[in-house]
Amino acid sequence: MIQFSILSGKQAGTLKEARHFPFRIGRSDRMHWQTDASGVWDEHIEIRLNGGEGFSLHALSRGLAVINRQPVTEGALRNGDVIEIGSLRLQFWLGETRGKRLGWREAMVWSGIAAVIAGQSFLVHWLLNS
């Protein structure tokens, strides 16, 4: 659903995905994403999905985060925002959407339309010849 592009550290250039929320980042093994970057607390931040309002970042315990060079303990996230926690820099992105395969449904709809047209053609022919 969302992606983090890692901008600094050993993993710079890689992507991390978050599909379930709240999504927690920190050093602890209880976190969804564990990082050993310097300056990151055991339980540092949490990303939440707030219904129709979008995504928000919340600092946990004594954690502090920076969104687009503005220190925050909580704040709204927008596509492309840069998040800094300790020495770790991330860019927040909405993930690519994946459409469902609907080929068989489309085939059924077209078959139904063809059946209606054939039925109407038969009915018009039958009425004109009666």
Mean pLDDT of the chain, nearest integer: 89
Tokens of 127: 């009425």
Model pLDDT, residue 100: 75
Global confidence as pTM = 0.69
CA distance linking residue 77 with residue 85, whole number of Å: 14
**Could you read off the pLDDT of 35-55 as tens digits, one per residue?**
888 888 888 999 999 888 899
E-assigned strand segments in the chain: 2-6, 15-18, 23-26, 33-34, 45-49, 55-59, 65-67, 70-72, 74-77, 82-85, 88-94
Task: Report phi then psi at 58, rounded to 5.
Answer: -130, 125
